[in-house]
Each structure stands twice: as C-alpha cells, then as structure tokens.
Amino acid sequence: LRALDLLNGGSRGFQRVKRGWVWNQFFVLEEYMGSDPQYVGKLHTDLDNGESGVKYTLSGDGAGTIFTIDQITGDIHALRSLDREEKPYYTLRAQAVDIETNRPLEPESEFVIKVQDINDNEPKFLEGPYTASVPEMSPVGTYVMKVTATDADDPTYGNSARVVYSILHGQPYFSVDAKTGVIRTALPNMDREMKELYQVLIQAKDMGGQLGGLAGTTTINITLSDVNDNPPRFSKSIFHLRVPESSAVGSAVGRIKAHDLDIGKNAEVEYNIVPGDGGAMFDITTNEHNQEGIIMLKKPLDYETKKAYTFKVEASNAHLDPRFHNFGPFKDTATVKINILDVDEPPVFSKPSYAMDVYEDTPQGTIIGAVTAQDLDAGNSPVRYSIDWKSDLDSFFDIDPVRGTISTNELLDRESIAQHNISVVATKVSKYVAVTVHVLDINEFPPELAMPYETFVCESAKVGRDLAWRLQTARWPPDFEQHRYPHFWHVTSKNVSLFFFLYSDNTAGVVTLRGGFKRRSQEIYHLPVVIEDGGLQTLSSTGTLTIRVCGCDTDGSLLTCSAEAIFLPVGLSTGALIAILVCITLMTSKEDIRDNVIHYDDEGGGEEDTHAFDMGTLRNPKVIKENMFRRDVKPELGLCPRRPVASQNSADISNFISLRLQEHDGDTSAPPYDSLATYAYEGEGSVAESLSSIESVKGETEEDYDYLNEWGPRFKTLAGIFGERSESQSDVTSSTTTENKH
C-alpha cells in the first residue's frame, strides 16, 4: 500500500488532496503454460468510487506487449510465458486519468513486477571435463581438487539453486564433499605403478539433493603423480661381459642397467664400482637418456697377462624421499665378470730383419738361410711362410712354407743385381667348426598373480554365486611351456570360504560357498590364493584376493560398497516409504503374479485381477474350453468367443503366431490397459509325430517302437530302451513338452 499526492487543478488554483494507489506486491510465475493470460494483480486508486469514471493506463517494460491492463478494473495480466533467467523483473508505470477528459487524476507511480522462479535449470559444470593429479601413496583425505556447478535458478528463493555434490563413479578411491565439491582421496597407499589413471564421475543435484531435483554431471581424470617409493633393481645378480684385449682405453666395453619402476627424476640412477679386485681397470658412468650404466676401459688389456676381471657395481637413486626410508635401502648391487678375449695377433719373427749371403751362379734350389716366427697367442697356431710377390717380381727366391728356409730359384748375377731385398710374410693357420649349444630348462620360477586383485560380493549372494572375476597368472618365465599349468585351491579365512575353478587359459573363477554376507559384521575379506605350477619340482607362490561386501540390487548390479551407506538416511518421503512397503508386501504374496501384467496407471480390480485370465488355456490351442469369456471386461452382444485355429497341415509356427497376433490386434473387447497374451504352440508335422504331453488327453494307447530301429544308428540306444520297456509293461508313456513363447 502506497500513498501518493494528487494535484487537483481548478479555477482557484491547486489544492493538495491526499490520495493513494492500492495494490498488492506483484509477482508473475515463470514458464506459465496456461491457455489464458496469467493474472498478475490489480491497480486501484481511492478516487475510483466504482462509477466508471477512472481509466487506468500502463507504460514501461513490456507494457502492451507482455503486460496488459484492464482500463476500467485495473486488472493486470501477462500475455505470454516469461523466463526469469532471461529477465528477472519488469519496471512499469501506472496512472489513473479521467475517463472522459483523459486528465491525470494522480501523478504516475512506478512499480515492479518480479518473475517468480521455478526449478527449470539443472546445475552445470562450466569448465568440465577436468584433469587433476595427486601424489601416489597419499594418506586418506588428501586434497585433489574442487569442482563447482552453477545453477541459473534464483538462489534467494527456495532450494532451486541449492546444489549438493555426490560421486557416481570412482569409489572407493575418491570422495567428494557434498556442500563444497572438494574431492579427496578415500583409500591409502594408492600405487601409481599398479594403476595410474582414475576416471571419476561427479554429480551436482539441486533442491538440496532431494527427489525431484535436477542434476548435472562432469568427468574428472585424476592421475597419480610419481613419488620415489621404488628402489632401483638389477634384473640379475651377475652380468657377464667379454672384452677384446685390443679395446682402446676410454672406450665403452659393456652396459648394465638397474630398473626403477618410478619415472622422471625419481627413476634417475647413479652407478659406482665398489673398490676391490679388478675395479681399477674400469670405470662406470650413467647414460642420462636410458639410465644405463656404461662401463669404460681405464687401462690397456693383455690377454696373455690376465684373462678375467671381477668387480661389483652399486646402483642407487639420486633423489631420495625421506618418507619412504622405512621401505628399505634404495640401492642394489650386482657382480660384473669380464672375460678378456684373445685377439688374433700376427706371428712375431725372432729378429726384426735378416741378412744372408750367397755366391752368384749358385745352383738353383740352394738354401741360403732361414727365418723363424712364433705365434704368441694362447693357441700357438702353426706358422706358414711366404714371400711377398711385390718384393720379388722375377721370382729369384723361394721359401719353404713350413720351415721358413729360403733357397734360390734362379741363377744370380752379381754384376746385374748385387743386392736383393725381399719381404717374408708369416701367417697363422686357422680352422673353424660350427658348434651348437642347447640350454635345457629347469623349473626355477614360480607362477605369480598378474596383479593384486580386488572384487566384491553382494550381501544377498546365494551359495554357488559366481563373482564374475578371473584370477590370472603372470610372470611366466622361459620354462612356461614345460611348467605352465598351475593348480588353484581355496584357503579358508575366518568366516568365508571360496572355491576356485581351474580354466584352460590359466585363470581361476571365484564362487561363494555360503551366503549371508553382512557389511556390518565384516566389510573386507582377504583371501590367500596359492598358485602351484606343474613341474616335476613344483614351485608355488601366494597372492591375496581382496573381497569387499557390497550392497547390490536384485539383478546383482553394484550399488555401494561403503559401510556408512547402511546407516545414512535415504532422503525418501513418508509416502515413498509406504509405497515401497506395499510393493514388498505384494511381492511376498503367495498368489502367482506372473500370469498377469497390470498397467500401473490403472486402478485395477483388487485381488480379482489375479484371476483375470486363465493362462493355462493359452498353452494349447486345441484344448481351449468353449464359451470362455474374459472376466475383466463386459461381454458385448452378439460377440462370440473365437476359437484359435490350430494348424492341422504342418503349418509353420510363424504363421500360427501371426494369426494369433491378428486376432488380438482386432479384438474390440480387449481391456483398456496393457495385458499379456501367451502364444504357445508345439508345432506339428514331425515324421515321428508328436512326443508332447499336450495331447495326452486323447488317452494312453500301446505304442510299437520297432520303427525306431529303422531310423539309423543314432536311434539305436533309444530303440533298445523302449524295446525292453514294451516287453515288461503293457502301457508305455513318454512325453516331452516343447513350448515356444513369444
């Protein structure tokens, strides 16, 4: 209620008369879908005495297009649906004028029509999908990131914009704060080396998370960042290297590597040679690209002096994390054995040069001297001698290839050539033979589980329930083919006993041996799993299967594994709880409800609905009783019950079903709600005639089964069985029921 002054003009001047507008605060509901214009409110001035002497006018935002006013009554209506998120309020001006002269009776007055909010916008994550990282091995509750969803509805009115966060996928590894949207770790000691990437699905729901609220979701890809929680490890304890004795000082003579499961700087390895025998001849450095240890030669090698060297190499992390010192020493040691290879060096002559004298005209073949060379290598191979043809082009001399004696091959003339300079070559004799070495296998590696396995069992699980999980063996070494087949067996742990089935692909399934699991009693079971290979000297290892007790729905789908969820309120209204209890009561009724499908929108007829149809008559179209009317609809005059036509001439089942479908589609007496029609037909036309008990109403007669002997070897056993029975019994009854349901 607002009072305004009115200027009343006359021949004697203006006189101030107290007048006032009268209206309620105006609101208009957004997204109005009614067929008539939405009533907003009423304008009225106390100058209006009801004699239709006052006319109301409206101007401002949306006047005439969105809002209209009845000039006589002052009623304001909205002409179309409004969206608060598009424009939350409208400012208008109202004035009362004389209906005849249009003279203002009062000054214009400004007022606001506010659009009242409804919950028509779901929360939205404007920046998703998100990526985040958290260090591995972090304690429970470690901050990961914060997500925020925005709701375009009015935060000052109701709960339309009150958002609550929950996690749909990503448990039990992460949790989210319902009010703030802060995501934290929920499990301790998550290992990056086991699993690095997690995908978490977050839901934001308005109306405070209650039923009927609108929801939006976003995905967060969380990566476990690496910490230095793994020491370097050599793949073997002894490395064997072979180095030629001719290797140059400063050259790389071998490489070894210690593997670190970490990455980045946490995987950087430093190598050092432990002081001792042989270490002075070599040095080691780290290859920064692949973290290999490169062994370098510091001094010259001589096979004839020393044939082998042995020393130890230590590998350690360059960057240690003090939080994980209790894991043990972050270093490893391996032994390096280097065998020096003998290089095939040329024979060595007894003297650096030889001088020999011979008279000219000495007869051909006269020995004038000898040279001697020796192979200093370990093999001491025989030496063969020859004259370099370039130094004796005219072949004046010859040499014995075994003894090294030099003789004349031509008559020599001092006056022609007084001195001959020849070169003698000494070479070793080498022979080669192919040698193949086969390495035979022994059983030295036990089988192991591929990874730490984790699965769940429903609280409602029955005995013999397959957990739909497979334990897979890993680390099959070179003796895989000979010792590959493992044996699994169960180990009883407290109150749970699980049995393992062995499969041909080296996997084992898990089956419950009892039911009645309760999260309140025990939430997690740790089941030891023993794996044994099939070698002559069997080896085995023990792994652990973690089984969580979880809540599931009726078809066994996982709902939640959180123990707290048992005690949390579900947020259902009283009416919803009563409806659930009624459904449970109906489900436990002894009445067989499978014969009736009642549409839930129809009120139904009470317990009479359980007898609405005689489903048994649909099982065999030949024995349907005559004059059977439906009890759920009123019979029509002149309507005769139709008898389904059974195929008598080997008609196919498809034609039979099509006929039944046409009959029901054209049935004008069908009930107004959905119903179930069963089309059951056993088929006819078999050479062996019907074996079904459906037609057993015709009576039992003696049957001669000798014709089975004429059907071939496949029916020989069947013929023998019925042949014996026909001799000992006068009546033989055999029935097999085949029912096709569509």
312, containing H or E segment = strand 308-317
Q: Which residue has the tokens 């000052």?
A: 156
Instruction: Output the CA–CA distances (angstroms, integers) from residue 175 to 183, 195, 204, 219, in the order listed.
Output: 6, 18, 14, 14
pLDDT confidence of residue 123: 93
Average pLDDT over residues 540-547: 84
Q: Which residue has the tokens 């029921």?
A: 737
Q: Which long-range contacts (CB under 8 A, 24 or more apart) does 662-671 make?
A: 668/636, 669/630, 669/633, 669/635, 669/636, 669/639, 670/633, 671/612, 671/630, 671/632, 671/633
Instruction: Output the CA–CA distances (angstroms, integers) from residue 735 to 546, 617, 689, 694, 723, in the order listed.
Output: 50, 19, 12, 9, 16
pLDDT confidence of residue 429: 67
| 687-690-695 Cα angle (round to 5) | 155
State the DSSP string of 548-604.
Answer: EEEEE-TT--EEE--GGGGTS-----HHHHHHHHHHHHHHT-SS-GGG----TTS--
Residue 524's Cα: distance from chain center in Å? 22
pLDDT confidence of residue 379: 67
Q: Where are the beta strands (DSSP E) in 106-157?
A: 109-116, 130-135, 143-146
Expressed in angstroms, the distance from the first to the final Cα of the chain is 71
pLDDT confidence of residue 48: 78
pLDDT band at 147 (very low <50, low <70, confident <90, very high): very high
pLDDT confidence of residue 655: 78
User: What tokens were used for 714?
Assistant: 């496949």
**Global confidence as pTM:** 0.44
Cβ(645)–Cβ(612) under 8 Å? Answer: no
Among 250-254, 410-414, 664-668, which is the least confidently predicted range? 664-668
pLDDT at 243 over 50: yes
Among 545, 707, 560, 695, residue whose Cα is nearest residue 620: 695
User: What tokens were used for 423?
Assistant: 């070169």
Among 275-289, 547-561, 724-738, which is the least confidently predicted range? 724-738
Among 480, 477, 498, 479, residue whose Cα is nearest residue 489: 498
Average pLDDT over residues 292-302: 93
User: What tokens were used for 397?
Assistant: 């001399």
Among 131-145, 491-505, 536-550, which is the least confidently predicted range? 491-505
Among 670, 608, 616, residue whose Cα is nearest residue 642: 670
Among 638, 636, 641, residue whose Cα is nearest residue 617: 641
Among 624, 627, 740, residue whose Cα is nearest residue 681: 740
The rounded distance, in Å, linking the Cα atoms of 484 and 474 is 10
Among 51, 57, 58, 43, residue whose Cα is nearest residue 2: 43
What phi and psi, each to the nearest 5 degrees, are found at residue 283? -135, 165
> Which amino acid is present at 516?
G
Average pLDDT over residues 9-30: 52
pLDDT at 200 over 80: yes
How are beta strands 130-135 and 109-116 bridged, if at all?
unpaired
Cβ(363)–Cβ(348) under 8 Å? Answer: no
pLDDT confidence of residue 150: 92
655, containing H or E segment = helix 653-665
DSSP 728: H
The rounded distance, in Å, linking the Cα atoms of 178 and 199 is 19
pLDDT confidence of residue 318: 85
Average pLDDT over residues 509-519: 79
pLDDT confidence of residue 733: 40
725, containing H or E segment = helix 716-728
Give the count of beta carbons closer than 10 Å to the beta carbon of residue 686.
Answer: 11
82 or 648, higher pLDDT:
82
The rounded distance, in Å, linking the Cα atoms of 70 and 62 is 15
Average pLDDT over residues 184-213: 93
DSSP 493: B
pLDDT confidence of residue 259: 94
**Residue 129, preceding bond cis, omega within 30 degrees?**
yes
Cβ(656)–Cβ(647) under 8 Å? Answer: yes
What domains can you pick out in the chain, each with its CATH number? 25-116 (2.60.40.60), 124-225 (2.60.40.60), 233-341 (2.60.40.60), 348-440 (2.60.40.60), 454-560 (2.60.40.60)
Span 462-489, pLDDT tens digits? 887 666 555 665 555 555 555 555 555 4
Span 57-90, pLDDT tens digits? 899 888 889 999 988 888 999 988 888 888 888 9
pLDDT confidence of residue 4: 33
Give the count of beta carbons closer than 10 Å to the beta carbon of residue 173.
Answer: 15
On the 0-12 / 13-18 / 19+ scale of CB atoms within 10 A, 142 is middle
What phi and psi, each to the nearest 5 degrees, are found at residue 209? 85, 5
CA atoms within 13 A on the CB side of 719: 12
Span 250-291, pLDDT tens digits? 999 999 999 999 999 999 999 999 987 777 899 999 999 999
196 or 649, higher pLDDT:
196
pLDDT at 223 over 80: yes
Residues sharing a CB contact under 8 Å with residue 95, sequence separation 6 or more, in sequence order:
56, 57, 59, 104, 106, 107, 108, 109
Among 215-229, 334-348, 530-544, 707-721, which is the least confidently predicted range? 707-721
- Determine the length of the chain: 742
The rounded distance, in Å, linking the Cα atoms of 277 and 68 is 106
On the 0-12 / 13-18 / 19+ scale of CB atoms within 10 A, 419 is exposed
Q: Where are the beta strands (DSSP E) in 359-450?
A: 367-370, 373-374, 383-387, 397-399, 405-408, 424-428, 448-449
46 or 232, higher pLDDT:
232
The rounded distance, in Å, linking the Cα atoms of 247 and 240 is 17
Write down the mean pLDDT value for the chain. Answer: 76
pLDDT at 204 over 90: yes
Percent of the chain at pLDDT above 70?
68
Residues sharing a CB contact under 8 Å with residue 720, sequence separation 6 or more, in sequence order:
none
Instruction: Output the CA–CA distances (angstroms, integers) from residue 377 to 299, 303, 348, 382, 689, in the order listed.
Output: 20, 9, 10, 11, 97
User: What tokens were used for 190?
Assistant: 């998550």
The rounded distance, in Å, linking the Cα atoms of 317 and 340 is 31
311 or 682, higher pLDDT:
311
Helix (H, G, I), strand (E, B) or coil at 720: helix
